[in-house]
Amino acid sequence: MDLTCKLTRKGLSAVAADTGIDPALQISYLPGGIGAVAWNSVLSQRRAEANTLVVFSGGSLLNLAQGKYGKASAADVRWVAALGTDYGMIAVRSDSPYKTLRDLLDALKRDKQRISIGAGGTAGSQDWMKVSIVARQAGINPKSLRFVAFEGGGESFTALLAGHVQAVSGDASEAALHAVDGKIRVLAVMSDQRLPGVLATVPTAREQGFDVTWPIVRGVYMGPEVADAEYRKWVKAFDRMMAAPGFEQLRAAHGLYPFALTGDALTEYVRQTVGAYGKQAKELGFAR
């Protein structure tokens, strides 16, 4: 969330003269519930504030779908822009006997209790969902897997490298940082196509026979009563920002892959994604 705030501030400052947006954006932190505290703050206190943007992630959309934001829906706010995305991945240590995603799943079928999987968040979180969907497609009951919940991806990878867990479900951007020194092996990325950079040789889950993609979008929304003219001003500013020379490099420097939607197109994407997450959560026993 913090990196998305800083990407927004840097990106908008580069086009401030063309958009009329004040480049001196202030960042305020409202941690809690993967955006739940910020969501409730906007809906209860800042419904019409034209100069308040709130960051969201794919985790926010998943929690919204699972009812963790209370009696809320995607229609309760105005979706402004998605700036980029990360992707899910599954990794093991470089000295692991598991060379492919299929190897890991076959081992889980043989003896689930010998393999612990590190994940950021508890059951029902993004990291839990990623592995659970793959496991389900492999004929494994996700609830029989041994998950170890950590505060975030950093702690999961630390536990992996120390041998406390045998696999990690997390994000590609974090995995890329650890893959540089050769200490981990990423078994699959959950993207439509192979990713550029350090993970370019890693096959997708789909390439290995599992129809799973898991984009983790990053973006911003506004209160539901912001005037339409103000809302459109911000949408136009983000359109200009993401089309500007240098933004692609700036986005990559913040650990994100290309993904750009604004306004009505983003609103429809969020509606469909929250619906899909809700269906998946229901299938795995985590419906609202």
Tens digit of pLDDT for each residue in 229-277? 999 999 999 999 999 999 999 999 888 999 999 999 999 999 999 999 9
Tokens coding 56: 């969201």
- Residue 288 is assigned to a structural domain of this protein: no
Q: pLDDT (tens digit, 9 = 90+) per residue, 18-32?
A: 887 876 788 998 887
Where is the domain boundary, 208, 227, 259? 208
Per-residue DSSP letters for 58-124? HHHHHHHHTTTTSS--GGGSEEEEEEEEEEEEEEEETT-S--SHHHHHHHHHH-GGG-EEEEESSTT
One domain for residues 47 and 95: no
For residue 101, give the CATH number of its domain.
3.40.190.10
Where is the domain boundary, 161, 187, 208? 208
- Residue with tokens 């078994």, as numbered in its chain: 187
pLDDT of residue 46: 94
The 10 Å Cβ neighbour count of residue 153 is 22
Task: Measure the CA–CA gap between 165 and 209, rounded to whole angstroms.
Answer: 25
**Domains held by the chain: number:** 2
Q: pLDDT (tens digit, 9 = 90+) per residue, 139-184?
A: 999 989 999 988 777 889 999 999 999 999 999 988 988 888 899 9
One domain for residues 101 and 199: yes
Tokens coding 120: 């950021």
Domain of residue 230: give its range: 2-85+215-283
Q: pLDDT (tens digit, 9 = 90+) per residue, 57-94?
A: 998 999 899 888 888 999 999 999 999 999 999 999 99
In the DSSP assignment, the letter for residue 202 is P
pTM score, two decimals?
Answer: 0.86
